[in-house]
């Protein structure tokens, strides 16, 4: 039989005054400690930067929502009428917050060791398939490191266009690598994302260029 604590962890603020927001806060910290410790133990040679990026990839909203879907948490959510009509049981933010609250409920009811067992069980596949260090770096960092490895200048970025309404703007950014005569563009809903997209496009071009040069020297 479900305890009051567990029921509260599944209760969105739209449904009841006794909701799960404070539990989300606690669950976030409990999850962070468990994931951090497990990564530290599993990967004794990993750098601090790599460990930080791994942790971020494991506790972000997308990953938490994916796990919540795997556990079918959406089927058990207690939502208000408005959230039900708008599909709140599918919303990533609600699913990820609910999973954190559920983790908090396990911690509050059973203690840290049981919470650890629960977290490691639902993260089993992800710990078995941890991404490589390079794949976790953002495109701008990867591009810069690739260029520096060849002793080339780092790229520059410029915002070349902003369009759309204030609440729905579209940004166009440019990535420029003068020494290689490369200019790429990225378009997204934020300047940062547009620059990252432009950097990814430039990275793909530079990677292919270096690969062709390597083939010619063989």
The one catalytic residue in 28, 83, 174, 195 is 28
Neighbours of 126 (CB within 10 A): 16
Tokens representing 136 are 């976790």
Q: What are phi and psi of 150, to 5 degrees?
A: -105, 15
Q: What are phi and psi of 45, to 5 degrees?
A: -105, 0
Question: 100 an active-site residue?
Answer: yes
Is 100 marked as a binding-site residue? Answer: yes
Q: Could you tell me the strand order of the sheet in which 170-177 lies?
A: 156-163, 170-177, 182-188
The one catalytic residue in 83, 100, 174, 195 is 100
CA-wise closest residue to 187 among 177, 174, 203:
174
Which of the 8 DSSP states describes residue 178?
A: G
Is 24 marked as a binding-site residue? Answer: yes
Question: 28 an active-site residue?
Answer: yes
Q: Which residues are annotated as a binding site?
A: 24, 97, 100
Q: Which residues are annotated as a binding site for Mg(2+)?
A: 24, 97, 100
Which positions are annotated as active-site residues? 28, 100
């Amino acid at each position: 039989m479900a305890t009051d604590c567990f029921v509260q962890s599944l209760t969105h603020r739209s449904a009841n005054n006794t909701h799960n927001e404070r539990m989300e806060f606690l669950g976030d910290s409990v999850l962070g400690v468990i994931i951090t410790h497990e990564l530290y133990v599993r990967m004794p040679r990993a750098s601090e930067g790599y460990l930080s990026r791994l942790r971020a990839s494991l506790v972000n909203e997308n990953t938490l929502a994916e796990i919540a879907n795997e556990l079918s948490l959406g089927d058990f959510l207690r939502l208000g009428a408005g959230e039900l009509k708008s599909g709140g049981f599918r919303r990533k933010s609600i699913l990820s917050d609910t999973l954190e609250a559920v983790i908090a409920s396990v911690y509050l009811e059973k203690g840290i060791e049981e919470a650890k067992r629960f977290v490691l069980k639902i993260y089993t596949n992800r710990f078995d398939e941890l991404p490589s260090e390079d794949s976790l770096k953002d495109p701008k960092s990867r591009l810069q490191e690739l260029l520096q490895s060849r002793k080339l200048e780092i790229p520059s970025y410029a915002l070349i266009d902003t369009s759309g309404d204030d609440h729905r703007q579209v940004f166009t950014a440019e990535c420029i690598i003068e020494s290689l005569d490369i200019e790429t563009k990225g378009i997204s809903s934020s300047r940062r994302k547009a620059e990252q997209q432009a950097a990814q496009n430039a990275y793909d071009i530079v990677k292919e260029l270096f690969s062709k040069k390597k083939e010619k020297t063989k």
